[in-house]
Amino acid sequence: MQELLEMGNIEEEGQTVYAVAPYLTQGIVTPEELRRLADVAEKYQAAAIKVTEARKIAIVGLKEEDIDAAWQELGMKPEVAIGLCIRNVKICPGMAYCKMGLQDAIAVGTKLDERYHERELLREVKMGVSGCPNSCSDSRTRDIGLIGGRNGWMVYIGGKGGKTPKLGERIAVNIKEDKLFELMDQMLLVYSEQSDGKEIFEEYLSRVGVEAFKRQIDITLFI
């Protein structure tokens, strides 16, 4: 369902209906945008408004002839990051909205999203940013996960969900924001240049080993 939503059309009972899913930074939508989404859905008699697993809001069940007008009236950017790239970074409310938060997950997650959204890679890379070790954004089962600590960010790599879940390994603690983005850039650069083009991030790490990867990215520059 998710991929079909992103493609914009869905086969339903023998006929094709359409969905529009605007790009929402960090799943955040203003009250005014939410009202517009509802107005457009109602005006074009959409079947439903769906909150997707990727924290998007899709208007589903539109007719093909209404798609252009719906986008125009929404006045929002489409969700264009599909496939082999970094899609929405999953974040939690962090210290801005959660009393458990130790770091500002929304601020860091938003910066990561702006930095990497749509960046093309050989394979999709999933990221999670959690404001404290409770890890509500599943940071330890993402390719790259950040977890807020008292003195900075902990960085985990190589986690995955799915049928054979695996927890990522921690490679750095107490990383401050300025170094954090440099470290992220370096990890993605090495993965892009060194992987065989077919393996996902976790497979690449399993093949080379986390310790070797740390040497490849020269982790000592960041910790």
The site for ligand SF4 (CB under 6 A) is made up of 92-94, 98, 100-101, 105, 130-132, 134-136
Nearest distance in Å: CB 27, ligand SF4: 13
Least distance (Å) from ligand SF4 to the CB of residue 99?
8
CB of 49 to ligand SF4, least distance (A): 24
Q: Which is nearer to ligand SF4, 69 or 97 (CB)?
A: 97
Nearer to ligand SF4, 138 or 199 (CB): 138
Instruction: Output 22 or 94, the one with its CB closest to ligand SF4.
Output: 94
β strands within the chain, DSSP E: 9-12, 15-20, 48-51, 57-62, 90-91, 127-130, 144-149, 152-157, 169-175
Residue number, 145 or 158, with CB nearest to ligand SF4 = 145
Pairing of strands 127-130, 90-91: parallel
Rounded CA-CA distance 158/17 in Å is 38
Q: How far is the CB of 151 from ligand SF4 (least distance, A)?
A: 16
Q: C-beta of 103: minimal distance to ligand SF4 in Å?
A: 8
Which residues touch 20 (CB under 8 Å, ≥6 apart)? 8, 58, 59, 62, 67, 70, 71, 74, 78
Closest CB to ligand SF4 among 101 and 145? 101
Give the Cα separation of 31 and 23 in Å (integer): 15
